[in-house]
């Protein structure tokens, strides 16, 4: 079933352009230039607050979505990991939308959080990959991802499919809130349609990235930095590396570096920076300079423009295509997945079945 691939995770990373395209088919009407959602009996324009709850990688997809919902739809968003949400007595106003994100649809904490939110009078939206799962059955608004079965314990294709659905949901919400002109909507549809091809271009760097594994494999600690939606992407990059290579890794908002973690930096610490060119780029570059001044070894993931400006002095660079901010997280997911994968292969760990981890966490 792995075909020519060595591991399921590798196969699933490479499947992403196809499954993202498949998923997006249900959420865009390209000829009309419109985003769309499955039919349900609910008026998105009434949503005054979204509460997002998930675990692990699905939680990071939710964190990216928070930036989008706020930026495009101007709707306030609250987000938490399910294990905290269900016990912290969250204040949920009647009529709110609670959004649960899960590959399996069976994660115990997320399911319990969903039931709690229902008791508190929330409308339940679920982004889920397994259509027969408990969460799918209990949803008012079912938003399926079409990633197909994900076998590798480290989530990859389910994550980028979640991002695709969440981007479309952000656009739907923005339209319902009167924040999107027809032209803007058409543009978003175009950008979403470009995502699979941009992900293909990112996958073309597979061999270069394999060649960088030796920069990370010997490290004891690795930092991932990003700003805006690239901050949750940094968290996701660090989680992927931890899970399958067993190297301690942390993701940080680049601006938080000087509030503590910079103390860790020396010439043994690789620092992976995710920074597409754009309004936040200069800020991240100055954080990179702080790292470099302390001997940190930077691997910069950016587009041609960003690399021309800030690539010098990095131990390695990975060039991403220049893309709209809405699809950047889908594209930047690819190099962080590949880097984690190749480092794990270099270390000889069990990539598809990492120690201590289960694919679906059905106990608390």
Residues that bind ligand M6R (CB under 6 A): 55-58, 102-104, 107, 110, 153-155, 243, 357, 360-361
CA 52 to chain centre: 14
Q: Which lies closer to ligand M6R via its Cβ, residue 306 or residue 329?
A: 329
The answer to whether 179 and 74 are in contact (CB under 8 A) is yes
The answer to whether 268 and 220 are in contact (CB under 8 A) is yes
The answer to whether 221 and 247 are in contact (CB under 8 A) is yes
Q: Which lies closer to ligand M6R via its Cβ, residue 124 or residue 314?
A: 124
Burial of 144 (0-12, 13-18, 19+ CB in 10 A): buried
Smallest gap from residue 28 Cβ to ligand M6R (A):
23
- Type and span of the H or E element at 239: helix 230-245
- The rounded distance, in Å, linking the Cα atoms of 64 and 59 is 9
The answer to whether 84 and 57 are in contact (CB under 8 A) is no
Smallest gap from residue 265 Cβ to ligand M6R (A):
26
Smallest gap from residue 55 Cβ to ligand M6R (A):
4
The answer to whether 193 and 222 are in contact (CB under 8 A) is no
The answer to whether 345 and 351 are in contact (CB under 8 A) is yes
Q: Which lies closer to ligand M6R via its Cβ, residue 109 or residue 185?
A: 109
Smallest gap from residue 353 Cβ to ligand M6R (A):
11
What is the β-pairing status of strands 34-35 and 28-29?
A: antiparallel
Smallest gap from residue 360 Cβ to ligand M6R (A):
6
Q: Which lies closer to ligand M6R via its Cβ, residue 71 or residue 353?
A: 353
CA 101 to chain centre: 12
Three-class DSSP category at 298: strand
Place of tokens 């919400």: 173
- Type and span of the H or E element at 22: helix 16-25
Q: Which lies closer to ligand M6R via its Cβ, residue 57 or residue 284?
A: 57
Q: Which lies closer to ligand M6R via its Cβ, residue 57 or residue 164?
A: 57
Smallest gap from residue 58 Cβ to ligand M6R (A):
4
Catalytic residues: 359
């Amino acid at each position: 079933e792995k075909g020519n691939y060595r591991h399921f995770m590798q196969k699933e990373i490479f499947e992403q352009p196809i499954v993202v395209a498949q998923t997006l088919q249900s959420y865009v009407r390209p000829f009309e230039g419109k985003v769309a959602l499955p039919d349900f009996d609910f008026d998105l324009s009434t949503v005054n607050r979204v509460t997002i709850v998930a675990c692990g990688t699905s939680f990071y997809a939710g964190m990216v979505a928070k930036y989008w919902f706020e930026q495009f739809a101007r709707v306030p968003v609250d987000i938490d990991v399910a294990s905290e949400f269900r016990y912290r007595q969250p204040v949920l106003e009647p009529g709110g939308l609670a959004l649960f994100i899960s590959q399996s649809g069976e994660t115990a904490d997320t399911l319990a959080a969903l039931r709690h939110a229902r008791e508190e009078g929330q409308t339940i939206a679920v982004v889920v990959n397994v259509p027969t799962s408990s969460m799918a059955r209990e949803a008012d608004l079912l938003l399926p991802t079409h990633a197909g079965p994900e076998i590798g314990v480290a989530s990859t294709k389910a994550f980028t499919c979640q991002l695709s659905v969440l981007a479309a949901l952000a656009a739907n919400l923005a339209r319902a809130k009167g924040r999107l002109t027809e032209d803007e909507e058409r543009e978003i549809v175009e950008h979403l349609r470009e995502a699979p091809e941009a992900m293909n271009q990112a996958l073309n760097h597979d061999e270069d990235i394999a060649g960088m594994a030796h920069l990370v494999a010997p490290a004891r600690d690795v930092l991932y930095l990003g700003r805006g939606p690239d901050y949750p992407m940094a968290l996701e990059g660090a989680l992927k590396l931890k899970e399958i290579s067993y190297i301690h890794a942390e993701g940080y908002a680049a601006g938080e570096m000087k509030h503590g973690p910079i103390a860790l930096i020396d010439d043994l610490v690789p620092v992976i920076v995710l920074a597409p060119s754009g309004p936040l780029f200069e800020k991240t570059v100055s954080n990179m300079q702080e790292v470099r001044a302390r001997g940190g070894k930077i691997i910069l993931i950016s587009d041609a423009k960003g690399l021309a400006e800030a690539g010098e002095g990095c131990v390695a660079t990975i060039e991403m295509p220049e893309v709209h901010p809405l699809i950047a997280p889908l594209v930047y997911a690819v190099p962080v997945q590949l880097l984690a994968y190749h480092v794990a292969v270099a270390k000889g760990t069990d990539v598809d079945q990492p120690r201590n981890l289960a694919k679906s966490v059905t106990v608390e």
